[in-house]
């Protein structure tokens, strides 16, 4: 069974995943308001991913003697003015989650809760992947540029990448915008 310390830490992580899910929804709105439907799709999917992480932790906590509880979330607002700023903000958000997952994994190790340590392994690896893929997107945005014309192509590339993801294919993050 889980120690109280681990139960509390898992509950804290649940809040963070839920908050990330909400931030991504806010960024989907930011994109829709600028007619960037492909980029909005990316954020809707990212929001779903975070909700799934939240649910996984939620169920794990409830299964092993804890009492999962989602607190009211702090408001999410987007002050970022352009797509590069938005994705730098996304990187910071993901990095915060990485730091917090690593702290949680460290705690489970110190407490000799190796089952939870093992359970968290997928989250640790997922964060490593998330940071890398957001970083790749930042590189792409920097190379392509994000003025009106380039946003049109970036939007198409994001849309195409969501289709590729559905087919189990890796994203395209090349330096040239997709012009199909």
Residues near Fe ion, by CB under 5 A: 17, 50, 53
By beta-carbon proximity to Fe ion, the closer residue of 23 and 151 is 23
Q: Which residue has the tokens 């994000």?
A: 146
By beta-carbon proximity to Fe ion, the closer residue of 56 and 85 is 56
Min dist CB 173 to Fe ion, Å, is 21
By beta-carbon proximity to Fe ion, the closer residue of 62 and 129 is 129
Residue nearest to Fe ion (CB): 53
Min dist CB 149 to Fe ion, Å, is 33
How many beta carbons lie within 10 A of that of residue 76, not counting itself?
16
By beta-carbon proximity to Fe ion, the closer residue of 17 and 41 is 17
Min dist CB 152 to Fe ion, Å, is 30
By beta-carbon proximity to Fe ion, the closer residue of 41 and 50 is 50
Min dist CB 50 to Fe ion, Å, is 5
Min dist CB 11 to Fe ion, Å, is 15
HEC-encoded secondary structure of the chain: CCCHHHHHHHHHHHHHHHHHHHHHHHHHHHHHHCCCHHHHHHHHHHHHHHHHHHHHHHHHHHHCCCCCCCCCCCCCCCCCCCHHHHHHHHHHHHHHHHHHHHHHHHHHHHCCCHHHHHHHHHHHHHHHHHHHHHHHHHHHHHHHCCCHHHHHHHHHHHHHHHHHHHCCCCCCCCCCCCCC
């Amino acid at each position: 069974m889980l120690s109280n310390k681990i139960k509390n830490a898992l509950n804290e992580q649940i809040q963070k995943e839920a908050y990330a899910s909400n931030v991504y929804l806010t960024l989907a709105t930011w994109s829709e308001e600028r007619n960037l439907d492909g980029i909005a799709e990316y954020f809707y999917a990212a929001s779903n991913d975070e909700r799934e992480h939240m649910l996984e932790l939620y169920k794990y906590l409830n299964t092993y003697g804890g009492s999962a509880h989602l607190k009211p979330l702090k408001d999410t607002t987007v002050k970022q003015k352009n797509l590069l700023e938005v994705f730098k903000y996304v990187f910071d958000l993901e990095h915060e989650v990485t730091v917090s997952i690593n702290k949680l994994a460290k705690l489970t190790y110190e407490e000799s809760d190796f089952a939870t340590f093992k359970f968290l392994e997928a989250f640790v690896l997922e964060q490593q992947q998330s940071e890398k893929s957001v970083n790749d997107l930042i590189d792409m945005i920097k190379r392509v540029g994000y003025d009106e014309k380039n946003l049109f192509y970036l939007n198409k590339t994001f849309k195409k990448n969501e289709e590729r993801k559905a087919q189990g294919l890796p994203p395209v993050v090349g330096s040239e915008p997709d012009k199909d």
